[in-house]
Structure 1
């Protein structure tokens, strides 16, 4: 019987056969497969989503700008926020608030530019309501909830700090 890497070492595993692939082989196959699947889903979902808003297919300057800012600024800031939340950093609420405001601003620009340009970018009413309105609703609701929560936390922290730093009144 071949030795196995499991604990306890004396565990009896009938028919055990060691893996013939190295960890780097396994990870490279996994990473390549994942990248291929994500790329295919991205391509096909983008084409599908464009039925709800053809500005994506046409690479509209306003949409590209809003999405670019989101990807370049809010993406890394969101990763930093995850780190700040997980490690209990003092700046986590202000960072979440800033990201949420940025997302709300970007969503407002997204909708307002569509309205100003005639709001005629959907293939039909199903795609308009399901994709353009429905799929984008989360980009309003979730950041709004986070912003309100953070606002309350920040205000509460300032109230506590204000109560601790005030000098007692002399009578």
Structure 2
């Protein structure tokens, strides 16, 4: 039996909106901000980061192809989300906090209450994401703008890490449902499909494309090196 689950009597009602019904959240503090306000704060903050970044990159590298520009902005966004948002969760109990970042996590937790119960996997996964992929995402964005040779190695490592974490995230939640019949999302479809499925799928789709692109670039680079070495050895012999 899950230690975080209590089984209220027939007339008892949970003092919070999270699933599974009866999940224990000691010291839980309800959000003061509405869903619209939380989404507006999140969107506005992202815009406040991305727009100056776009201007700065265009000034630094006006010749940077649009695809490369978009990729650099993607990693800047990843760096902010991983380091600040996920970093806050990794080191703070969000269920008992009124901080705006805690309220954002409580809104998302309507689709996955494991974030409020400090589930061991979720905390571990988010800590690795914040500590590793956060700083490296900023470094990767810089390497794209600076045309640094390490760019595709960084891009491949970060993207693979994001995919791996997301697959495990989906997998552990699915396993809990299949094996133990536990549902961590509220029954409204927009929580499950909007928050849980769609938002997380972004970090599978885009990293998959970037990983494929980097693998092709790295493979071509090694093939070229091998060709040059073969040509040089042929001349020597």
The TM-score, its normalising length taken from structure 2, stands at: 0.53
Q: Give the total of aligned pairs.
A: 134
1:58 is displaced (CA, Å) by 1.4
Aligned to 2:203: 139
Which residue, out of 203, 208, 215, partners 1:151? 215
Give the aligned CA root-mean-square deviation in angstroms. Answer: 2.1
Structure-2 separation of matches of 1:62 and 1:170? 56
2:166 maps to 1:107:
yes
Structure-2 separation of matches of 1:134 and 1:158? 36
Which residue, out of 179, 183, 201, partners 1:120? 183
Aligned to 2:110: 51
Structure-1 separation of matches of 2:175 and 2:226? 45
1:169 is displaced (CA, Å) by 7.8
Structure-1 separation of matches of 2:200 and 2:159? 14
SS of the residue 1:55 aligns to: helix
SS of the residue 1:59 aligns to: coil
Structure-1 separation of matches of 2:209 and 2:172? 24
SS of the residue 1:52 aligns to: coil
Structure-2 separation of matches of 1:100 and 1:43? 26
2:222 maps to 1:163:
no
1:68 is displaced (CA, Å) by 0.3
1:126 is displaced (CA, Å) by 2.4
The TM-score, its normalising length taken from structure 1, stands at: 0.72
* Structure 2 alignment gaps of length 5 or more: 1-84, 86-97
Structure-2 separation of matches of 1:131 and 1:81? 27
* Structure 1 alignment gaps of length 5 or more: 1-37
